């Protein structure tokens, strides 16, 4: 990422679709075409792991660090494959186009997937390819399929509450499940095959158009996950396999009491003795899916905020060191030119900065944070950027630029912004001003949330940290992405030297 380029941040769920949630189908390809038409180089998405209604549908809280979110499987592509008929998808609920209604989408798509699986069982078209996928991904796929089926068998209860044989992965209990629930297990594997087939197809399409996919890896995994159930020794658990301590961050911009995420923290000493095998496998898996990976909460590799599991806020935590130097030496040995973006937002100490600089990973700069009292010294102001960074107007955890300006920015913040750009700024044009600031900066890479390209307000915010409900639902409407946006973004990209090389003179 050491050449000037730019891209768009848009999660797959936010794409238009007639099936209640954005997916890997036709509109994903249309959006890739939009990126190509505007000379973009990157499409950044959020984690694609399974989500759960019980966790607010957050892509950062999943039953697996390896599995894909089967809700993103496109029914239209299943019709093209012959796994569904046109009649199967002709009648559907009246979904809301502007938001994802997960409670309605989940049962509807479940019924479609049942029909696709029935067709798969009785026809041989996909069986060989599915068998090859299962063999190549056996190490994680077997455990995820088992975990999902056993969890469903226990009415969704947390794995620690399962009967002892299943909780402790007793061989006899596992063999019983494999026999009694063979078809359900095969269905889970089949759906994973479909998800990754569609994802790889989209990635190939994007790459052929010169677009690189940026994926997202949360540093932690959920306690109620196949990963912790399978690898209890890698996490700080007590003798009853409950978390001893959990992850979070101390008080910050988003919360006066910090953020208590609830994820179990790693036993880095045990990971180190294995040569970080689980992490190397996780990175290899993601690097096969994406061209670049962003690691969320990168500072946790240097030191992490550890909170006793009995606490109700993150206030009473402590910093614990992690073996960042040794870990990334192992990573670099496995992947010499590993393309990683370090999410380095929040409280970043000098030791974290030193590690990131030594590794040569680009960090992040967010313009929405830049116009406080410490102007002109703030590191997120464009005149303080270094080339090896990723400039954002905002992220999925921020308000939109317009929403920030109208609802969060203090009068002094607005005054400083106007002074910085040398003109009076209004809420109808503030998104354009911040995008231009990012684009003209020395940052090698600029990533803009689509909401800011469209100039949308607070209603389009993707996630509100520390608020449990109502997140991860925003979707854009087809008519919102106009030729005016296309031409404006293309011109801006070319003007500031960020167009793909083959399009540098295409103005």
- Amino acid 251: pLDDT: 86
Three-state DSSP state, 407: helix
Give yes or no: 343 in active site. Answer: yes
Name the active-site residue from 296, 306, 344, 413.
Answer: 296
Which residue ranges of the chain lie beneath pLDDT 50?
503-507
CA 481 to chain centre: 23
Q: Which of 464, 354, 480 is nearest to 398 (CA)?
A: 464
- Amino acid 259: pLDDT: 87
SS3 content of the chain, % helix, strand, coil (to 5): 45, 10, 40
Would you state the structure tokens that stand for residue 274, as one six-digit string?
């294995």
For the sheet containing 212-218, what is the strand order?
340-342, 292-296, 212-218, 42-44, 5-9, 445-449, 389-392, 363-366
What is the C-alpha to C-alpha distance for residues 344 and 365, in angstroms, rounded to an integer? 9
- Amino acid 254: pLDDT: 67
Would you state the structure tokens that stand for residue 25, as one six-digit string?
């189908």
DSSP label at 499?
Answer: S
For the stretch 344-356, pLDDT in tens is 998 899 999 999 9
Task: List, in order, residues 6 or more apart from 418 with CB less than 8 Å away.
Answer: 424, 425
- Residue 71: CA count within 13 A, CB half-sphere: 25
Give yes or no: 188 in active site. Answer: no
Give yes or no: 269 in active site. Answer: no
For the stretch 199-232, pLDDT in tens is 999 999 999 999 999 999 999 999 999 999 999 9
- Amino acid 506: pLDDT: 40
Task: List, in order, residues 6 or more apart from 108 with CB less than 8 Å away.
Answer: 19, 20, 92, 93
Q: Which of 268, 227, 262 is nearest to 247 (CA)?
A: 262
Would you state the structure tokens that stand for residue 392, as one six-digit string?
């954002």
What is the C-alpha to C-alpha distance for residues 56 and 255, in angstroms, rounded to an integer? 18
Name the active-site residue from 343, 413, 433, 452.
Answer: 343
- Find where tokens 């998104």 sit: 431
Name the active-site residue from 397, 413, 433, 452.
Answer: 397
Domain ranges of the chain: 231-361
- Find where tokens 């970080």 sit: 276
- Amino acid 468: pLDDT: 81
Q: Which of 458, 348, 441, 339 is nearest to 398 (CA)?
A: 458
Contact present, 141 and 189 (Cβ < 8 Å):
yes
């Amino acid at each position: 990422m050491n050449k000037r380029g730019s891209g768009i941040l848009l999660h797959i769920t936010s794409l238009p679709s007639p099936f209640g949630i954005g997916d890997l189908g036709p509109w994903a390809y249309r959006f890739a075409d939009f990126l190509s038409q505007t000379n973009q180089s990157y499409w950044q998405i959020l984690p694609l792991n399974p989500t759960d209604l019980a966790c607010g549908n957050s892509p950062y809280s999943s039953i697996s660090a390896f599995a894909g979110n089967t809700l993103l499987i496109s029914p239209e592509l299943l019709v093209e494959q012959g796994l569904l008929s046109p009649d199967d998808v002709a009648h559907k609920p009246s979904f809301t186009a502007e938001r994802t209604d997960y409670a309605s989408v989940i049962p509807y798509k479940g019924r479609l997937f049942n029909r696709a699986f029935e067709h798969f069982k009785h026809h041989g078209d996909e069986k060989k390819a599915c068998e090859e996928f299962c063999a190549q991904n056996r190490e994680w796929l077997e455990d995820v399929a088992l975990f999902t089926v056993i969890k469903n068998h226990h009415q969704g209860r947390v794995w620690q509450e399962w009967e002892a044989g299943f909780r402790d992965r007793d061989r006899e209990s596992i063999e019983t499940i494999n026999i009694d629930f063979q078809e359900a297990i095969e269905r889970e594997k089949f759906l994973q095959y479909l998800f990754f087939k569609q994802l790889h197809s989209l990635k190939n399409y994007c790459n052929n158009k010169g677009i690189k996919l940026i994926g997202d890896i949360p540093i932690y995994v959920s306690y109620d996950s196949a990963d912790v159930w399978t690898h209890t020794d890698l996490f700080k658990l007590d003798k009853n396999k409950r978390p001893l301590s959990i992850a979070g961050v101390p008080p910050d911009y988003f919360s006066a009491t910090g953020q208590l995420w609830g994820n179990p923290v790693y036993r880095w000493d045990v990971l180190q003795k294995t040569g970080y095998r689980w992490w190397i496998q996780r990175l290899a898996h993601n690097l096969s899916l994406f061209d670049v990976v962003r690691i969320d909460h990168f500072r946790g590799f240097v030191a992490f905020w550890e909170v006793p599991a009995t606490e109700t806020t993150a206030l009473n935590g402590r910093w614990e060191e992690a073996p960042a130097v040794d870990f990334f030496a192992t990573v670099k040995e496995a992947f010499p030119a590993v393309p990683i973006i370090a999410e380095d937002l929040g409280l970043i100490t000098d030791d974290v900065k030193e590690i990131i600089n030594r590794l040569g990973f680009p960090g992040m700069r967010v313009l929405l944070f830049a116009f406080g009292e410490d102007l002109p010294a703030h590191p997120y102001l464009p005149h303080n950027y270094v080339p090896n960074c990723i400039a954002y107007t905002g992220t999925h955890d921020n308000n939109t630029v317009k929403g920030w300006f109208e609802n969060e920015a203090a009068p002094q913040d607005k005054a400083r912004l106007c002074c910085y750009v040398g003109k009076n700024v209004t809420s109808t044009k503030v998104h354009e001003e911040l995008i231009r600031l990012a684009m003209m900066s020395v940052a090698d890479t600029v990533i803009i949330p689509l909401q800011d390209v469209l100039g949308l307000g607070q209603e389009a915010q993707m996630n509100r940290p520390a608020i449990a409900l109502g997140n991860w639902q925003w979707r854009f409407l087809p008519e919102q992405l106009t030729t005016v946006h296309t031409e404006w973004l293309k011109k801006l990209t070319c003007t500031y030297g960020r167009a793909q090389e083959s399009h540098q003179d295409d103005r």
